[in-house]
Amino acid sequence: MEERQSFIYKLILYITGFLLFCEWMRPMEQISDTDDVRVFFIYATFCFFISFLQVPWYLSIPLKGLGLAFILDGLYIAERIFSRDWFSVLYEQVLFNIQMIQSQEWWQMTPLFRSLLFLILLWLMSYLLYYWFVVARRMFFFVILTLIYVTVVDTFTIFDGKWAIVRTFILGMVALGLSSFARVMDQESISFKGLQKAQVWALPLLAIILFSSAAAYASPKLDPQWPDPVPYIESAAGGAGPGGSGSGTVQKVGYGEDDSRLGGSFIQDDTPMFRATADGQRYWRIESKDTYTGKGWEDTLEEPVTNMDPQNISYELFTDNVEVEEQTVMIEMSRQASFQKLVYPYGLSSLVRFPNDYELRVHENTGEMDTVKGDSPAKVNEFIANYEYPSFEYNQLREAGDDDPQEIRDQYLQLPEGLPNRVRNLAGQIVEAEDNRYDRAKAIESYFSSNGFEYSTTDVPVPDENEDYVDQFLFESQLGYCDNFSTSMVVMLRSEGIPARWVKGFTGGERIDTLETELSDDLQNVYQVTSGNAHSWVEVYFPEIGWVPFEPTKGFTNNTDFYTDVETEEGEDPAAAPDSETPEDQMGNPQQMEEEESSDAAGAAGSSDQSYTWLWVLLSAILVAAIILYFTRYRWMTALLIRKYRKNKDEETYEKAYHYLLKVLDHKGFKRKPEQTLRDFALSVDQHYQSNDMRRLTNHYERVIYRNEAQSTQWPKVTELWENLIKKTLS
């Protein structure tokens, strides 16, 4: 019975340690380029299970090694497992990565080798946590370390650690409670067989944990004192880091509703949002925003929301003067897409296969289309849309004039009072040579393709409190992504009296298939649109024409059709050439654009994901080394002391050696009670090891301390006794 209860106690303690360790792996999908961490969870469970069973090393090493090999084979190696070719691939991979490490080209490390290192880390942690939690019962440091880790990751990455903190707190309390319970049992010499009614101690422990957790969760909390701690820390460090003051928080790319504070870096996310079966790539529009605050965009006007018949949508972005082509698209939303809004192409006219129990509510100013089921927002998983795809004629745009309706001017010429004058001056310089609205808009759009601007998703600064977002981008950093480029173009257009607005949605996505459908007599393309395709662009108003899309972001191409009826001697405006002539993959996601724009520096710096990779490898290696050194400290310290004590044969050295032996015995559970003499303690140690080594050493120690007798003549024998007992204790 005692052994069974001891086994249950160790099992609970070890499971607690394993669950705490899982909190270290949970953020990996969001803060690194790891696609699926489930395979690592499975391998960690396998290793922890073998370590708990205390399988002999000659069985546990082959078992864990086989598990590691099967995972690498399933993920990366196509050859038959354990064949000569299989080992050849593994050898070449390891050899190549070792060379990359030696040359400090961390970003060149292959996924196979990175996974191999991480699997080895899981292997080691399964042993170390067993020793830490079950043998040494010293889990306080690991609990604190886990809390710090979750807090740091939650603060400085896009990982949401709200529930991770709660789980860590509860698991840590359970672990510390069990540890304290076991310590009391050891001190009072209580055996497990007397604990048949475990609820005597378990129920109060659980009650305290649940009460404290519930109280902490329900109690009022202060608002965050640092809305974004990264700029604060960097400013405290003297503005260190790229981009000057405050290089921005790290976000995850994707569609979001809050644009009140733009700026900061983001990491890529290839989570599928929807599939579109269409004739070609399109801008997938969601909404526009009208009010620029100097920090971001807001909707400040109360706009009417209309329930529209899905079969007859009257939201018009352009007039009947624009040439259109009737087309159809099928949208299939993915399971991961969480927004309850319609993504739609320009010229949407009707929805087919729209669920009968859903309503379509259209915001007339922004174009946002909410899908509602029973007065609650709900996602429509699949629908077919008919739309009139527009083509804009160059001469018509150039001749549109500046006679805008007053309501358009009131709403789409707004600028904050604190906009720096140099932004207005720059806009005036860019357009001063143009004599019509279209060419002025094209001049501002083209301005970003040169003049030192760079597309980047990393090291993008967040403006200080007294800094304007556009001003900081145009004159300070000249580094950013679509939000920086599109917002700057809208602001400069408005400063020149041209109505413009900021639009959000998705780019065309990646073509993954071509097939025959019921939607068209011709073959249609299937496009996969991911979070990485989230994008913002510009719409400019032209009288008698409507809203025309423009694409200022460097490396991106406007996929709207433009044409001319009359060929002039100068030919078609090359800057405004129809995007149908541009390869579709140029409309790719921001990550692809960034790689194209920074190809010259790729060999020196690598991408942000590669930086994350080598940083994680380095931190993991340091962590593993520190843990190994900590848990083996008595072994390597003993080896060093043995060499030292062999050289120095004096009484002071022997006294230090004896005190170190007492420390090692205390570490292994032989705690000397205050009332015990050295001889009594030595007797208890010898009874455990069934020897008389400790008594002989103690006898020599008392002679040195109390009688001042020199022991140099017996030093070899004493040293041998000391070494044997140390090694026996640590084995």
Summarize pLDDT for 219-231 with one digit per residue, the tens: 776 655 554 555 4
Q: Residue 589: what pLDDT? A: 44
Residues 467 and 104: their CA atoms lie apart, in Å, by: 39
Q: Residue 627: what pLDDT? A: 75
Q: How confident is the model at residue 165 (pLDDT cuts 50, 70, 90)?
A: confident
Side chain identity at residue 37, one-letter code? V
- Is the Cβ–Cβ distance between 568 and 561 less than 8 Å? no
Q: Residue 79: what pLDDT? A: 84
Is pLDDT of 594 > 70? no
Q: Residue 614: what pLDDT? A: 60
User: Quick one: average pLDDT of 80-86?
Assistant: 88
Is pLDDT of 2 > 70? no
User: Could you read off the pLDDT of 285-320 as tens digits, one per residue?
Assistant: 999 999 999 999 988 767 788 899 999 998 889 999
Q: Residue 422: what pLDDT? A: 95
User: Quick one: average pLDDT of 541-554?
Assistant: 94
Is pLDDT of 42 > 70? yes
Q: How confident is the model at residue 375 (pLDDT cuts 50, 70, 90)?
A: confident
Give the contacts of 372 (CB within 8 A, at least 6 positions apart). 340, 358, 359, 360, 361, 378
Side chain identity at residue 476, one-letter code? E
| Proportion of the chain above pLDDT 70, given as a percent | 81
Residues 559 and 555: their CA atoms lie apart, in Å, by: 13
Which of helix, strand or coil describes residue 386? strand
Q: How many CA atoms lie within 13 A of 377 on its CB side?
A: 9
Q: Which of 426-430, 572-576, 590-594 has the highest mean pLDDT?
A: 426-430
Return the number of other C-beta atoms located less than 10 Å from residue 715's C-beta: 18
Cα 452 to Cα 447, 463, 474, 480, 486: the distances in Å are 10, 19, 10, 12, 16
Picking from 625, 619, 612, 633, the residue whose alpha carbon sits closest to that of residue 125 is: 625
User: Could you read off the pLDDT of 664-681 as tens digits, one per residue?
Assistant: 777 777 777 877 788 888
Cα 421 to Cα 292, 417, 424: the distances in Å are 16, 10, 5
Q: Residue 274: what pLDDT? A: 92
Residues 112 and 527: their CA atoms lie apart, in Å, by: 30
- Token match 């620029």: residue? 292
Q: Residue 397: what pLDDT? A: 93
- Is the Cβ–Cβ distance between 602 and 572 less than 8 Å? no
- Is the Cβ–Cβ distance between 559 and 587 less than 8 Å? yes
- Is the Cβ–Cβ distance between 20 and 172 less than 8 Å? yes
Helix (H) or strand (E) holding 390: strand 382-393
Average pLDDT, the chain: 79
Q: Residue 438: what pLDDT? A: 95
Q: Residue 595: what pLDDT? A: 39
Give the chain's largest Cα–Cα span.
Answer: 116
Q: Residue 491: what pLDDT? A: 96
User: Quick one: average pLDDT of 605-620?
Assistant: 54
User: Quick one: average pLDDT of 364-376?
Assistant: 87
Q: Residue 677: what pLDDT? A: 81
Q: Residue 392: what pLDDT? A: 93
What angle is formed at CA 400 by the lines to CA 496 and CA 350, rounded to 5 degrees?
Answer: 105
Residues 588 and 608: their CA atoms lie apart, in Å, by: 18
- Is the Cβ–Cβ distance between 562 and 394 less than 8 Å? yes
- Is the Cβ–Cβ distance between 508 and 283 less than 8 Å? yes
192 is written with which tokens?
Answer: 């497990």
Where exactly are the structural domains of the chain? 2-225, 250-597, 633-730
User: Quick one: average pLDDT of 692-703?
Assistant: 79
pTM metric for this prediction: 0.52
Residues 130 and 140: their CA atoms lie apart, in Å, by: 14
User: Quick one: average pLDDT of 403-424?
Assistant: 93
User: What's the CA dihedral at 229, 233, 236, 237 to 10 degrees?
Assistant: -160
Q: Residue 499: what pLDDT? A: 96
- Is the Cβ–Cβ distance between 343 and 390 less than 8 Å? no
Is pLDDT of 435 > 60? yes
User: Quick one: average pLDDT of 29-50?
Assistant: 83
Is pLDDT of 571 > 50? no
Q: How many CA atoms lie within 13 A of 217 on its CB side?
A: 14
Q: How confident is the model at residue 646 (pLDDT cuts 50, 70, 90)?
A: low
Q: How many CA atoms lie within 13 A of 233 on its CB side?
A: 11
Residues 717 and 726: their CA atoms lie apart, in Å, by: 14
Give the contacts of 115 (CB within 8 A, at least 6 positions apart). 71, 72, 75, 76
Q: β-pairing, 305-308 with 500-506?
A: unpaired
* Chain mean position to CA 415: 35
Q: Residue 682: what pLDDT? A: 78
- Is the Cβ–Cβ distance between 274 and 337 less than 8 Å? yes
Q: Residue 597: what pLDDT? A: 40
Is pLDDT of 234 > 60? no
Higher pLDDT, 394 or 704: 394
Q: Residue 711: what pLDDT? A: 52
Is pLDDT of 606 > 70? no
Could you tell me the sign of the dihedral formed by the alpha carbons of 595, 601, 606, 608, in that order? negative
Residues 436 and 657: their CA atoms lie apart, in Å, by: 92
Q: Residue 599: what pLDDT? A: 37
Is pLDDT of 576 > 50? no
Q: How confident is the model at residue 591 (pLDDT cuts 50, 70, 90)?
A: very low
Which of helix, strand or coil describes residue 231? helix
Is pLDDT of 151 > 80? yes
Which of helix, strand or coil describes residue 413? coil
Q: How confident is the model at residue 324 (pLDDT cuts 50, 70, 90)?
A: very high
Q: Residue 601: what pLDDT? A: 35
Is pLDDT of 380 > 50? yes
Strand order in the sheet with 284-289: 284-289, 500-506, 534-542, 546-550
User: Quick one: average pLDDT of 682-702?
Assistant: 79
Strand order in the sheet with 376-377: 305-308, 359-363, 369-373, 376-377
User: Could you read off the pLDDT of 714-726 as tens digits, one per residue?
Assistant: 666 777 777 777 7
| Proportion of the chain above pLDDT 90, given as a percent | 27
568 is written with which tokens?
Answer: 């002039």
Q: Residue 472: what pLDDT? A: 93
Q: Residue 728: what pLDDT? A: 73
Q: Residue 356: what pLDDT? A: 87
Side chain identity at residue 76, one-letter code? Y
Residues 636 and 655: their CA atoms lie apart, in Å, by: 20
- Would you call 39 exposed, middle or buried from its count of C-beta atoms within 10 A (0-12, 13-18, 19+)? middle
Q: Residue 46: what pLDDT? A: 92
- Is the Cβ–Cβ distance between 528 and 509 less than 8 Å? yes
User: Quick one: average pLDDT of 480-504?
Assistant: 95
Residues 154 and 147: their CA atoms lie apart, in Å, by: 11
